[in-house]
Chain A
């Protein structure tokens, strides 16, 4: 069997560690996601979803437990190593897009490549290619303010794909979009999953969206309380 994409064992996350107001958010999470899986994590607000996402996304280190991402140990990585892991292994898609307002679509897509040290010409070529892939080829010179919500999210997805990260981590990617645009964005995720074999972890509070994924993991009060098979998505 191949190396799991995400391999978490006994993950505990405590804030204000060692202080009187110490707060344990995650109480021992075990989670394994295989390469090419499309998994969703659902849960009420306060369930620890965001904390788990931050850990999966290598934005933070667990207080206890071990986490290997695509075979790389994240639990003990340095800040510098974490940034490299984020750059190479993870494509982030945020609820509020988080595009850089002063830069146009293409420059936004080029950003992760810049930090990966890719030369300018190659960056530009790759960014154009990706914008084409998400159907934003015509808008590469537009600034985020000149794009609609759905268009912004497609640019953000192109950016997440820039470094060919094996894992796409989407945090409420349709949270700021209307139903119709949500649909196009979800379709895009399904396409990337099927056609490019991307591993996708979708964090959402919408049961309908979660049901579209292959596996739904339910989080409550910092523990995984349920796991069901999804797969309600059929294209076209």
Chain B
């Protein structure tokens, strides 16, 4: 066997360019697969990591227009529901009494819209969100100083702002607690007093231009309600399940519970979602892409394999005489067959090895471009090695068998 492998390498090196060209199909095929799988895995891995840090198991319950059911509307469709459409405190109380042992906290929030803040020469854009005390558990902001919104704040005009905002509006000021700022929201000028500052964190997943981010100012949810002049009710709330809880089941039950209030509502219903479930959708999507890539790679490997077969046939024709001599010297058919299959497997494995190198480089480059650490997939590499060996055997068998069956007399006479 060792002799066959050595022999295969010798004939490979005897025709370097030809061998390289033959391997190209396999190099490209395997390189593409490993490269793309590496990028895909890096992407999934990084997203999973960042989502876990953001509280992937939080369940978001929100109003959703009945007509639109796509994900986009769920995520961005900030339509204006009427008072009758909102989630009422009664519903929340009933929900609490029914699922009380399964939930940890319920965070309430209400979007007030965004506006520009101007203090002297400085300005900054903020979005104002009314939240309850429990919201702190969900958003989990890193408080730099001061405090977060509490339920006892009721309707007081207090705000918790980001350090970025502070830097924009009060540059160089160490402590801004007690400072006030005016903001124009919905044609009304509102004045808030700062009670706390949290550390702004750019959202890892969607990294857009962060040079001038719009940060959130949190105000008491009751204040927001009063300012908006709305009846008691919320557009969305976030449920944190008790630890050790099956969140998928809880999510479904929560959705069913709230949706039951909306059976007769023509325009709105309730949708519950969690990053976890979105993540699995995303992972499924990436898996589909991976599958598509694998299919393309399979075609490329097939073409590569045919190339190998072709070159093996050429090589056998060229070496007909050698085969004749080997047979005259006592080589049984099986020895000739093994020799040529080994040669084709060596070509394919060498191609596979180069392909893996190309793929890792490609994956590292691709992941680097997206700004994620590259995670070369060991499984993909193992499959690539196995696959290239299989190609070698499969596409090498026919030519090798042809060589093995050559008539020694004919082969010896071949010019």
Contacts and interface: CB of A to CB of B under 8 A. Distances in A.
B332 A88 contact: no
B327 interface: yes
Interface in B305-329: 321-322, 324-329
Nearest to A110: B3
Contacts of B328: 57, 59, 86, 92, 98
A19 interface: no
A201 to B, nearest CB: 15
Query: Main SS of chain B's interface residues?
Result: helix
A63 interface: no
A232 B175 CA distance: 122
B14 A83 contact: no
B407 to A, nearest CB: 8
B333 A102 contact: no
Contacts of A60: 409
Interface residues of B, number: 21
Given A83-B330, A86-B328, A100-B322, A115 B412 contact: no
A99 B329 CA distance: 11
Interface string B397-409: 0000000000011
Interface in A84-137: 84, 86-88, 92, 94, 98-103, 111-112, 114-116, 120
A87 B330 contact: yes
Contact of A100 (B2, B325, B333): B325
B409 A111 contact: no
B117 interface: no
B280 interface: no
A66 interface: no
A159 interface: yes
A54 interface: yes
Interface of A: 54, 57, 59-60, 79-80, 83-84, 86-88, 92, 94, 98-103, 111-112, 114-116, 120, 159, 163
14 contacts: A59-B412, A79-B333, A80-B333, A83-B327, A83-B330, A83-B331, A87-B330, A94-B325, A94-B412, A100-B322, A103-B10, A111-B326, A115-B329, A120-B2
**Top 7 A-B residue pairs of the complex, sorted by shortest distance between their CB atoms:** A87-B330, A83-B332, A98-B325, A112-B329, A115-B330, A86-B330, A115-B331
Interface of B: 2-3, 10-11, 14, 321-322, 324-333, 335, 408-409, 412
